[in-house]
Each structure stands twice: as C-alpha cells, then as structure tokens.
C-alpha cells in the first residue's frame, strides 16, 4: 500500500528527499572536520587543526596500517575460500548441499558484535573451548587477541560475501567447458582452478574489492577482540577519540571519517566499474542451463571436511559460546558448569525497561521499519527504472555514497541532523531517527535488491501498458509493482535480517526511546555488563534466526 502511494509521488520529490537524506549528514561531517570545536560551539574556529592533530598522532598511523593489514588478510582468506566453496556448491555432487547453503550464509546475518563476543567466551584465554582443550590436551594453541587472529576471524566470517557473487557468476556459466576438461582427465580441483574460477575472474575481482572495503569499515570485531592488546583500526581509533582529549572531539572524529571515506569511496567507484565489466563478460559465457554435476568421488571427503571445519570455526564456536555464556553466572578456570547455571541474566534483561524496549524496537525496526525501507527503496528504484537520463545516473551514484561512510559516523551525523534541523528535532528520541539512519546506511544494499527484482520484469508488458495510453505512474502501479511482489517480499525479509543485525549506526543515536539491541550491545559491552550482553546477544541471534527460517520457508534466495 505504502509503496503504491510512494510510487505515485513525483519523481523529482523522491530524488530530492534521497539526495538530502544522503548528502546532508555527509556534508555536516565534512564541514565539522575543518573546525576546531563542535560546530554548535560558539568558540569554534575554522582551520586544518583537526587533520594536523591526527596526522601527528602515532595511533592514527598504527590504526591505518592495521586496517590495511586486516583488509588484505581478509581478501587473501575470504576470496579463495569463497570461490572454492562456490565451485563445490554449484558444480559438484557434494551430498547435503540443500542444508549446507543456508548455514554458509549465517555469518553474514549475525551481528559482528555478537560473533566477536562469541569468540571471546568460546576461544578467549579462558573461553569454554580453551578450557576444555587445556583439560584434555594440556594447552590450547590459539590466541584470539592478536592482529593475525583478528584478520583470520574477519576473513573467515566474510567468506559468504565472496560466495554469493562467485556462485551467482558460476550459475550463469555453462558447464560444457568444464566437462571437456573433466573428460580430458582433470581432477575436480584442477577443473576449479584452471577452468571455472578463471572464467569468473570479474566476479572474484568485484568481491575482492568488496571484502577489502568492508575491512576498512570493520568495527565490532576489532572493538571486542582488539581491546585487550590495544590493537586499533581506523573505526575503533575514531571511537576512541570520543574521549581522548577528555571531552568528545568531534572535529578529530570527523577528520578521521573523511580519511576513511577517502579510502572507501574510490573503492566503491572501482566496484561499480568492475560490475559493469562483469556484465560485458556476460556475452562470452557458455550456454546456461545444461549443467551437469561433477562427480567428486574421494574428493567428497576433503571438500566436506573443509566446509565442516569452516562452519565449525565460523558459526558453531562463537554461537555455542554465546548460548552457553547466557546461562552461566561466572566462567573460566575452576568454574564448574553444573554449579553456575542460571536464568538470572534473562531475568535482568526482562526487569530492565530500556532493554525490553530495545527488544521491541529491534523487532519493530526490522518488520515495520524494514517494510517502509523497502517501500522507499522501491520508490527510488522506480525513479530511475527504464530511464536513462542524467538524473538516473545521479541517483545511481548517490545511492553508493552511504556505503563509503562507516555506520558509526553516519549515526553521529544523523544525531547532529536530528539535533539541529528544527523540523526533525521532535523525532530525535523516537525510533524514527534510528530507522532513517538505518535506511540511508543500507541504501546501496536495498537498491541492489530492488533493481535486481526490477531487471527481472520484462519490458513488454510495461510497453503494452504505455501503448494503451497509461501514464508512467499508472504503469508502475498497475503493471510493474504487482509483478514485483515476490521480489519485494524477499527484499523485506533480507532487510529485516540486516536491520536486526545492524549495530554501529545506532551507537551515537542511542537515547531513551530509540534503544535497539545492536547499539545497546556496544554500550553494554563498553560498560562491562557482560551477563546482559550474553543474554541480549542470544535474543538477537534468535530474532535473526526467525527471519532466516521464514526466508527459507518462503523460498527466498538469500542473496542479491
């Protein structure tokens, strides 16, 4: 319903609203970075002092280096693993593929904050698995607080991001060339590395850039895992600046944000360029549809074991840790499981009105908020659908902008907008502020969902409508939109899960009335209320799980 009225809105208004929502916060950050004090402070002066300060701060350079190292490690780990995984899932006769697929995607739907916390309680120095390993083998050969560990964990949890692009590319590729190689006697591994994967190089390049860029935005993992040994990355350095001078140093934070955007925005543009290239490659692909599965034979065990090991490390270890920690009162060496079991943490969540509100808000923002967000994305989608003018290109680039801004900063900028833009001020302490920030931060993701659905609508029906004399709005409303129904439902479920998972955007917007689980987790973790963090994390995982189950039930493809 909502989508229909929005679709009927004049196109100019849609574009104007989108542009303001995207550009206002960003320009505020830009402006703030050239001041000496908060922009609302009467004592501020303009200048480059903020940049001078951070460039002179050794922490900034450490953090930049760490960010680059972690991002590189993520590419090195996630791209080969994701590509092989896609090959095995798309091309071979591995048994149990149907239930492995949703499991593969789990890490991309669980909040990184929750995952990181899960690793601390599972595999930290006194984590459950560490204690068990020490009891059985006399020691545990891993540590999770080093830079290497953060890179490895981040790499493993980003495998799904590569997997979805690689497998989509493989799907559209005929298998005749592979069969030829197979007939000539190549092993499945050889087929993968010399035939299939080279054919999808553009998709792999694209996902490599994506993962590298996500590495620069990483916040939850380094916040939790980098803390004990003091490893900073750019986003946690930025967060630390909140207090480094004793009072919040917005100008410094803004300057760091601009530095991050200076790295990520070119990457986003590069991605866009690669994506167009991918489509060009599409012309030389083999014929799709005649797919025959490669028999794995003995390789089955190797592939199965690798996937199993990855799932164990990436999904089971952290999630089981959370589940266990939520039900024990204290842990570590010398704590006996049978003596420490308790339901107290859930009780304290239940007794705390703000946390109960956080749970409700999180559900609301995912269901109703998600639906409205999809409606907005659809409206924007229609504003460029089958039009190839300057405005369409403008919107194409516009929706990419928020991707480059880390959620943490986008949230801060939205806080300023809500504080100082009078028409919005009454809404600041309502969940609307959180929703607007979420919707803008995930604009690019949402638009990709919508435009891929729109692409599936063939143009003949729309043209028929136009020839019969219907206006553009009428065609959108009566022809395109009804045809989109399934795509919209799928988008809604995916947006639901993404909104349940989001955490960094809400950190600065958190206020009485706007509580959401993700942001509460960051705040509670900083405050050290670990018991409650565990319980809330588990609740969050369950919410995402419900979304996932529904998505599977309705046959939604869990990827864009």
Contact residues: other proteins, CB under 8 A: 38, 40-41, 124-126, 227-230, 240, 242-248, 329-335, 348, 351-354, 415-416, 419-420, 425, 510-512, 523, 525-530
Quick one: 12 or 52, whose CB is closer to other proteins?
52
Give the alpha-carbon dihedral of 422, 426, 428, 434, to 10 degrees: -110
Q: Which two tokens stand for residue 161?
A: 């991001």
Quick one: 273 or 360, whose CB is closer to other proteins?
360
Q: Which two tokens stand for residue 15?
A: 């574009």
Quick one: 333 or 397, whose CB is closer to other proteins?
333
CA gap 223, 237 in Å, rounded: 9
Quick one: 224 or 401, whose CB is closer to other proteins?
224
Closest approach, Cβ 55 to other proteins, in A, equals 15
Q: Which two tokens stand for residue 102?
A: 């949703």
DSSP three-state, residue 46: strand
Closest approach, Cβ 42 to other proteins, in A, equals 8
DSSP three-state, residue 35: strand
CA gap 313, 304 in Å, rounded: 14
Closest approach, Cβ 129 to other proteins, in A, equals 14
Residues 6+ apart with CB under 8 A from 426: none
Instruction: Give per-residue burial for 282-307: e unless 16+ CB within 10 Å, then b.
Output: eeeeeeeeeeeebebeebbeebbeeb
DSSP collapsed to 3 states, 292-339: CCECCCCHHHHHHHHHHHHHHHHHHHHHHHHHHHCCECCCCCCCCHHH
Quick one: 308 or 527, whose CB is closer to other proteins?
527
Quick one: 47 or 527, whose CB is closer to other proteins?
527
DSSP-assigned letter for residue 341:
B
- Let me know how many helices (H) and strands (E) the chain has, helices first: 31, 0
CA gap 280, 277 in Å, rounded: 5
Quick one: 236 or 384, whose CB is closer to other proteins?
236
Closest approach, Cβ 526 to other proteins, in A, equals 5
Closest approach, Cβ 31 to other proteins, in A, equals 15
| Inter-residue contact 272 to 398 (CB < 8 Å) | no
Quick one: 101 or 227, whose CB is closer to other proteins?
227
Report in angstroms the alpha-carbon separations of 535 from 116, 214, 222, 323, 518.
Answer: 15, 28, 21, 8, 13
Backbone angles phi, psi at 341, to 5 degrees: -65, 140
Closest approach, Cβ 523 to other proteins, in A, equals 7
Place of tokens 């998600």: 370
Quick one: 390 or 528, whose CB is closer to other proteins?
528
Closest approach, Cβ 428 to other proteins, in A, equals 8
Closest approach, Cβ 415 to other proteins, in A, equals 8
Report in angstroms the alpha-carbon separations of 416 from 41, 240, 435, 511.
Answer: 13, 19, 15, 13
Angle separating helix axes 481-501 and 353-384, nearest 10 degrees: 140
Closest approach, Cβ 330 to other proteins, in A, equals 5
Q: What is the CB neighbour count within 10 angstroms for residue 313?
A: 17
Q: How far apart are the first and last CA of the chain?
A: 24
Closest approach, Cβ 225 to other proteins, in A, equals 13
Closest approach, Cβ 243 to other proteins, in A, equals 5
Quick one: 41 or 478, whose CB is closer to other proteins?
41
Quick one: 91 or 231, whose CB is closer to other proteins?
231
């Amino acid at each position: 319903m909502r989508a229909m009225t929005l679709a009927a809105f004049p196109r100019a208004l849609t574009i104007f609203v989108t542009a303001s929502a995207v550009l206002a916060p960003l320009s505020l950050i830009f402006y703030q970075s050239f001041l000496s004090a908060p922009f609302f402070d009467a004592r501020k002066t303009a200048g480059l002092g903020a940049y001078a300060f951070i460039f002179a701060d050794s922490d900034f350079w450490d953090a930049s280096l760490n960010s680059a190292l972690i991002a590189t490690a993520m590419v090195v780990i996630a791209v080969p693993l994701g590509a092989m995984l896609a090959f095995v899932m798309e091309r071979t006769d591995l048994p149990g593929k149907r239930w492995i697929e949703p499991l593969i995607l789990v890490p991309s739907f669980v909040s990184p904050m929750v995952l990181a916390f899960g690793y601390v309680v599972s595999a930290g120095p006194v984590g459950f698995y560490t204690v068990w390993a020490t009891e059985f083998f006399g020691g545990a050969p891993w540590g999770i607080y080093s830079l290497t560990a953060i890179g490895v964990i981040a790499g493993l949890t980003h495998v799904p991001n590569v997997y979805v692009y690689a497998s989509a590319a493989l799907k559209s590729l005929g298998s005749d060339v592979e069969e030829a190689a197979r007939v000539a006697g190549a092993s499945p591994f050889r087929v993968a590395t010399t035939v299939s994967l080279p054919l999808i190089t553009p998709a792999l390049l694209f996902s490599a850039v994506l993962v590298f860029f996500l590495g620069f935005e990483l916040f939850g993992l380094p916040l939790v895992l980098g803390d004990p040994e003091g490893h900073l990355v750019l986003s946690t350095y930025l967060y630390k600046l909140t207090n480094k001078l004793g009072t919040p140093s917005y100008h410094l934070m803004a300057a760091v944000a601009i530095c991050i955007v200076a790295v990520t925005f070119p990457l986003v543009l590069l991605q866009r360029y690669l994506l167009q290239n991918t489509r060009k490659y599409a012309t030389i692909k083999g014929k799709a549809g005649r797919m025959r599965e490669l028999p794995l034979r003995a390789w089955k065990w190797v592939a199965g074991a690798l996937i199993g090991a990855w799932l164990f490390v990436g999904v089971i270890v952290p999630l089981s840790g959370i589940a266990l920690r939520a039900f024990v009162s204290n842990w570590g060496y010398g704590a006996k499981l049978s003596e420490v079991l308790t339901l107290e943490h859930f009780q304290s969540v239940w007794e705390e009105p703000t946390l109960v509100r956080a749970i409700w808000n999180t559900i609301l923002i995912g269901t109703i908020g998600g639906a409205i967000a999809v409606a907005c994305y659809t409206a924007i989608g229609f504003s460029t659908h089958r039009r190839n003018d300057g405005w369409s290109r403008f919107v194409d680039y516009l929706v990419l902008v928020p991707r480059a801004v880390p959620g943490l900063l986008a949230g801060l900028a939205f806080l300023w907008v809500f504080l100082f833009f009078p028409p919005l001020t009454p809404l600041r302490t309502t969940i609307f502020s959180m929703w607007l920030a979420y919707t803008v931060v995930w604009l690019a993701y949402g638009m990709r969902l919508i435009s891929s659905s729109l692409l599936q609508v063939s143009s003949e029906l729309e043209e028929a409508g136009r020839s019969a004399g219907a206006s553009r709005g009428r065609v959108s409303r009566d022809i395109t939109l009804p045809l989109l129904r399934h795509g919209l439902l799928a988008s809604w479920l995916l947006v639901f899960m993404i909104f349940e998972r989001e955490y960094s955007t809400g950190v600065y917007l958190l206020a009485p009335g706007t509580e959401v689980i993700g942001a509460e987790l960051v705040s509670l973790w900083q405050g050290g209320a670990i018991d409650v963090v565990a319980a809330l994390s588990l609740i969050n995982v369950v919410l995402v799980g419900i979304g996932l189950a529904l998505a599977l039930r309705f046959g939604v493809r869990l990827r864009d």
